Structure 1
Amino acid sequence: MKILKSIFASMLLVSVCGFATTSCNDDDGYPNKVEFLSGEFVVSKSAMALAGTQPQTLTIKSPVRPSVSSDAAWIHVGEVERSVSSSIYTCVISCDENSAYDVRTGSLTVTAGSESKTVTVTQYGAETVEIVSISSEGGVLAPNGGTFTVNYAATGEVNIEAPQWLTIVGSRSLNECSVEFRYSANNGEAGRSGDIVISLVSDPAISQIVTVSQEKAEISTDMSSSAIELAAKMYAGVNIGNTMEPPSGEGTWGTPVVNQEYIRGLKSLGFNAVRVPCAWDSHVSDAATNTIDPAWLDRVSEVVGYIVAEDMYAIVNIHWDGGWLETSCVNGYDKAVDKKQRDYWTQIANKLNVYDEHLLFAGMNEPGQQDQGAVNSSSINAIKAYQQTFVDAVRATGGNNAKRCLIHQTPYTNIDKLAHIRMDFGGIMQSV
């Protein structure tokens, strides 16, 4: 797979998919992963939830040996023992059997030198998960993205599942009874909502659901940069191949599906432009009308949203996809192929019109890629016709697309073939 050499070279990276397992029980060794500043006093929980008489371990980071005391006779505090390192201590907390099985609450006081912290202990009659609070009032999220935290109480290890548009933020804090989420701007056509499910590993039926919603973000209309200026801004680019372009579907060519953390990983490596090769012909829900499956349009928009949210540039194209477009160029112009080109780009452009100049379109991929020999006038004329159709279709959708930067390919994207073709699409681009 190739892209204009003057813009950037392709690379292959591996994505990390998001799924979180966390716990309010320190027995899984979680504190071993925590790094602390010297002299810091940290208690692993501000609240503990216990089921019946089942004990839990409280972990403390302290420059001196801490002490732990309880204000309730039914709460029993074990010996404070040094663990992991000279500054990490553990203490087992247990409760008497609560024959009435009514929920009851007490507290622990953890003291280290002149400092002290309070831990609320709640005893439940059975295993449970409880939502304590959510930092975003009513679960309503900011349209343009942000973060929020869910605080919960659980009597054992939990699984946390969330919609794909929410990313669980890894935390190095000892506080294991909260989870932070990050989310991007909602650049879709309407508001969206989803459920966060927190369930016990030991019994997934014991769970709590937090519903969050996000209204549509305001559309940016910044299309002020010229093609030359945009090319200068894209100083390092990467191609996420084998992801969105397999005709058999995303993730079927041995790569995971693209997620927000993957895109953030690309940015952390220094990239600021991402080419997104896309299949379209294999995602048609009605071949008679060349209608692209709306779910696929949503998915491509979601991936573009990941990129734009990081202030990176995205390039979306029509890729190989069985060769219906680019391979057919060797046979000359085909009216049916041209109609597909128009129909597909009209739908793609309408769907992605909400994105500003951070999104660019590429009309093809490697046009005439099987014709690796001499370039003939028949294939050249076909390429020019299909590229013109691409321009006309995109421009006709108006809005941001009236000024969107469009990329055109030379025969099989070989820069050495530039002399064989000159394109002039209404003054948009010359000799590409």
Structure 2
Amino acid sequence: MKTLLSCMIILTFVLSACSDSDGKTEIDIQQTSFNFAKEGGSEMLYILTQADITVRSSETWCQVTVQGSSQNTQQYKITVGANPLQEIRHAKLIVSAEGFEKEIPVEQEASFEEKGKYIVRENLTTRQLVDEMGLGINLGNTLDATGDWINPSSISNYETAWGSPIITKKMIEGYAKAGYSSLRIPVSWSNMMSDDYKIHPDLMDRVETILNWTLDCGMVAIINVHHENEWVKKVPTDNEAKKKFTSVWEQVCKRSKKYGDQLMFEPMNEIGYDEIWTPWGGTQNDKAKAFGYVNELNQLFVDIVRASGGNNAKRHLLMEVYNTGLEYAYDPLTKIPNDPANRIAVTMHYYTPATFAILGNGVDAGWGIGVPSWGTTEEFKELNDNMDLLKVNLVDKGIPVHCW
């Protein structure tokens, strides 16, 4: 953004200031404001006068240098460095003479787009990024909605199929203003995908639009593969499923490789193999086999992301634990993937007690009946005890934990 020097004559203020023997001396200020890009730069301020004037800045980051005068025009160079802040900054140029003072506003763009949106902070640990994520919210029932009854001609048909309105920038801004620091964007990529596993550009564009709104609000964004369990579970044993999984993440990575560390990836959602093992049935060997499949999925995911280049080479990633269960996060059979970037956090879901977190009040699911409230002394103790288990078994060992 440049000062409109070509419009100097139109923008001129002719201001009466000082008196001399001939009457009033005119002070003709050629600019009414200055607007600088986030990178900073220099602009000239021209003042036509014979008066003895001074020009100073209200802020140290905005500097004024006298450049001399020519034919009663006094020249000042206004210099601004790059804005290191994630917010617009303001200063005032104060033009003074005897009996006269005029302020000229100076504004500089925020650096957020460059610093927060596309930059990977080299010294930022995954633990620190998880801390930045703070309170998060899930953008569910939107891009992850599925159903063979949904008209596949438009992404908006899927976005509204489960009762959600079309997502707008104002909604995302509302989340940020409400205090959320992170937003999970679950996506069912198969909704709009060709037979050769190419994601429809409309879906890819829509995901990126919402991603940009999220990042522009300063929130950490998480993109995953959601409601795709039927075929994702086959990846370790089926070459075609593996080809599809690889294709999806290669496309997502290619589209997202320019974004910085405020974007995280999550490989899948709540993958388990109940047909092989459950806590209520199956041998230890069966459990090892089931856990091994999830470990294999996580490792494949990490390998695909790291091989995609760009900022993905150092992107912070989430790894799914078996069925995203808390007790499985520190199970000896859960393996942290080999990662050359060493930027992985464990993610798990915490829906305890399920009768409150999952079921509506009074709903009888067979295994439990929904309750209307939570917060007894015993329930707080259960929560604290579970968080302590995660701390002792993972966090204290250098493994960050992200919990939904």
Q: What TM-score do the two structures reach when normalised by structure 1?
A: 0.46
Q: Give 1 or 2: higher strand fraction.
A: 1
State the TM-score, normalizing by the size of structure 2.
0.49
| Structure number with higher relative contact order (C-alpha < 8 Å, ≥ 6 residues apart) | 1
